[in-house]
A and B are shown apart, each in its own frame.
Chain A
Amino acid sequence: MHLLVEFVVSFLSTVGFGLITNVPRRSLLPAGITGSLAWVAYYLVLQVDPGLILPNFTAAVVIGILGNISAMMFRVPVNIIYVPSLVSLVPGGILYLCMRSFTLGHEQLTSQYLFNTLTIAISLAVGFVVAEVIFYRLKPLIKRLVQPDPTK
């Protein structure tokens, strides 16, 4: 039940950010599904390992692989899938908290939040690199499975 709610809310989040960043209409649905599956993966890993690195890393790997596959299927640049599906994972809220504590003069909180922001951002970025390495290994196989529509 919890999982379903998480799935729906993260799907809506991803589609909403897609509307803000003007993704082409045909990639809204795959981006939404990628984003929500990544969020579910994040949520599941978080139950086992309540840290920052492993959940974000797993989610980024999921986005990287699914994003590359859907980019191939729908013939869009892969960044167009990445940007909206990242929105529920990225450390935007923490970065804001960091700068807010900076404005208010709380040194300790600032450095802690800044550290968290960097950890999340770097683990996401490394996750993408790993996903791309895996994807290029699997590419010939996936290409046979997912024939892109030649009419598009």
Chain B
Amino acid sequence: MTQSISENELIAVCGKVGKILLTAGAETARVESTVEYIGKAAHFDISCHATITALFVGTNRQSDTHLVKVRLGDFNLEKVDEINTASRNFVEGKISFEQLKETINQIDQKVIDFTWPQKIFGAAVVSVAPMLLFKATWGDLGLAFFVGTFGYLAAQLASRRIKTPYVAAGCGGFVVGLLAAGLELLGIATSSGSIIVSALMPLVPGVAITNAFREVIDQNTISGVVRAVDAIIIAGSIGAGVVLGTSLCSIAFHWIGGF
């Protein structure tokens, strides 16, 4: 049965697997080992080199190499899990190569997502940061719950419409800054600074920068550095957005106060 798998087909499937895994936010070491496992299970000596922006798959017998370009994407860990299950089933011999190909095409096209209300609820809950418990007032944390929701919504809506990278994060920061400064100027909130830090929790790339250092320690230096720089620029655009939002808000209040 295994003899019927053609080399090119296998490489194409492996490339697809790697692409899905990388865009869904798996570590590069995991991508490489998954692809090589699949190759081994199909009795081909496959080698795979993954960086965060590109993926090379080739068999060691011939000189052809398949190159897949990847763009950094949002986390979608459920896809990582499904690919993992499919490849594990294939390695254990539970499904054939044809079935594996079909499953992977399905996973690629399927939009696996929680529903909107669930995600908004998630963002709202994340916006109450445990880091600030007993440091900020409870009222501020309660407000951060709502401000964070709006910030997350703004970032998500912007990322659907605007394809320029980093603008979506800036939009989220802008909304958070605007709302927090407005609430403080209206006298509802005590400190806009703690609201902003708390409400930005769903947007800031903290997990990304930690994963970047894990990759560097794992000797995937290129991917680690790319991830770290990406995280710093995202944080920079959020910071710029917040500064814009707060200053716009205070200018607006200045005008209204002047009349």
B204 within 8 A of A: yes
Q: Identify which of A12, A77, A100 contacts B242 (C-beta below 8 A).
A: A100
**B204, A96: Cβ atoms under 8 Å?**
yes
Q: Identify which of B26, B81, B214, B239 contacts A103 (C-beta below 8 A).
A: B239
B:196-239 near A, CB below 8 Å: 197-198, 200-202, 204-207, 209-214, 216-217, 231-232, 235-236, 238-239
When distances are taken between beta carbons in the complex, the residues of chain B under 8 Å from A103 are 236, 239-240, 243
- How many chain B residues sit at the interface, stated as a range, is 35 or more
A122 within 8 A of B: yes
When distances are taken between beta carbons in the complex, the residues of chain B under 8 Å from A91 are 206, 209-210
A68 within 8 A of B: no
**B80, A17: Cβ atoms under 8 Å?**
no
Once the chains are docked, how many angstroms separate the CA of A62 from the CA of B126? 21
Once the chains are docked, how many angstroms separate the CA of A121 from the CA of B205? 12
Residue of A whose beta carbon sits closest to that of B194: A93
Q: Identify which of A27, A87, A129 contacts B201 (C-beta below 8 A).
A: A87
Nearest-CB distance from B173 to chain A (Å)? 8
When distances are taken between beta carbons in the complex, the residues of chain A under 8 Å from B25 are 21, 79, 83
When distances are taken between beta carbons in the complex, the residues of chain B under 8 Å from A22 are 75-79, 112-114
Number of A-B contacts (CB under 8 A): 171
Residue of B whose beta carbon sits closest to that of A80: B77
**A95, B209: Cβ atoms under 8 Å?**
yes
- How many chain A residues sit at the interface, stated as a range, is 35 or more
**A79, B26: Cβ atoms under 8 Å?**
yes
Nearest-CB distance from A90 to chain B (Å)? 3
**B126, A93: Cβ atoms under 8 Å?**
no
Nearest-CB distance from B102 to chain A (Å)? 20
Q: Identify which of A17, A76, A90, A102 contacts B239 (C-beta below 8 A).
A: A102
A65 within 8 A of B: no
**A86, B122: Cβ atoms under 8 Å?**
no
**A92, B121: Cβ atoms under 8 Å?**
no
B:97-153 near A, CB below 8 Å: 112-114, 118-119, 121-126, 128-131, 133-134, 152
**A129, B217: Cβ atoms under 8 Å?**
yes
Other contacts beyond A102-B239, A121-B210: 14, CB < 8 A = A13-B201, A16-B122, A22-B78, A22-B79, A77-B80, A90-B206, A90-B209, A92-B204, A93-B197, A93-B198, A93-B206, A95-B209, A100-B243, A121-B213
6 nearest CB pairs, A to B: A92-B206, A19-B122, A90-B206, A92-B204, A16-B125, A99-B239
Interface residues of A (CB under 8 A from B): 2, 5-6, 9-10, 12-13, 15-24, 27, 39, 75-77, 79-80, 83, 86-88, 90-93, 95-100, 102-104, 117, 121-122, 124-126, 128-129
